[in-house]
């Protein structure tokens, strides 16, 4: 089981009970696989994390795992072993912009 931590606005939209959800993801575990499983479990999140047309990450969301920013990596790069084993969560973080 892969642990995923959602930002507050997505957790509310999904009506998830806690900020962390556990998902079963097929091998090899990738961010795309996690997002597929997340959207299957919470269909109301479709289009909120990745663009409908391109399938790419929305600009103001970031992915972190094991103290690494995975946001610019391909969605098909395998996740770190610590995430796959459930020792560490995959964090989906809402970026803050301002000026």
- The whole domain housing 29 covers 2-94
Q: Is residue 67 part of a domain?
A: yes
Q: Nearest to residue 73, comparing CAs of 81, 89, 62, 84?
A: 62
Q: Nearest to residue 22, comparing CAs of 5, 51, 44, 2?
A: 2
* pTM confidence score: 0.90
Q: Please report the sign of the dihedral spanned by the C-alpha atoms of residue 5, residue 24, residue 12, residue 97.
A: positive
User: In the prediction, which pLDDT does 35 show?
Assistant: 96
Q: Is residue 25 part of a domain?
A: yes
Q: Is residue 61 part of a domain?
A: yes
Q: What CATH number does the domain containing 74 carry? A: 3.10.20.30
15-64 confidence digits (pLDDT tens): 998 989 999 998 899 999 999 999 999 999 999 999 989 989 998 899 99
Q: Is residue 99 part of a domain?
A: no
Mean pLDDT of 5-9: 93
- Does residue 68 register a pLDDT over 90? yes
User: In the prediction, which pLDDT does 73 show?
Assistant: 94
User: How many structural domains compose the chain?
Assistant: 1
- Does residue 95 register a pLDDT over 70? yes
Q: Is residue 13 part of a domain?
A: yes
For residue 20, count other CB atoms closer than 10 A to its CB: 14
Rg, the chain, Cα only: 13
Q: CB–CB of 95/10 below 8 Å? A: no
């Amino acid at each position: 089981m892969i642990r995923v931590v959602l930002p507050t606005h997505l957790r509310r939209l999904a009506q998830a009970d806690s900020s962390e959800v556990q998902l079963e993801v097929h091998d090899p575990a990738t961010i795309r696989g996690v997002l597929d499983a997340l959207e299957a479990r919470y269909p109301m999140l479709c289009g909120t994390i990745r663009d409908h047309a391109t399938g790419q990450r929305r600009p103001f969301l970031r992915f972190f795992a094991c103290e690494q920013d995975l946001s610019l990596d391909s969605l098909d790069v395998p996740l770190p072993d610590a995430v796959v084993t459930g020792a560490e969560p995959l964090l989906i973080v809402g970026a803050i912009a301002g000026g």
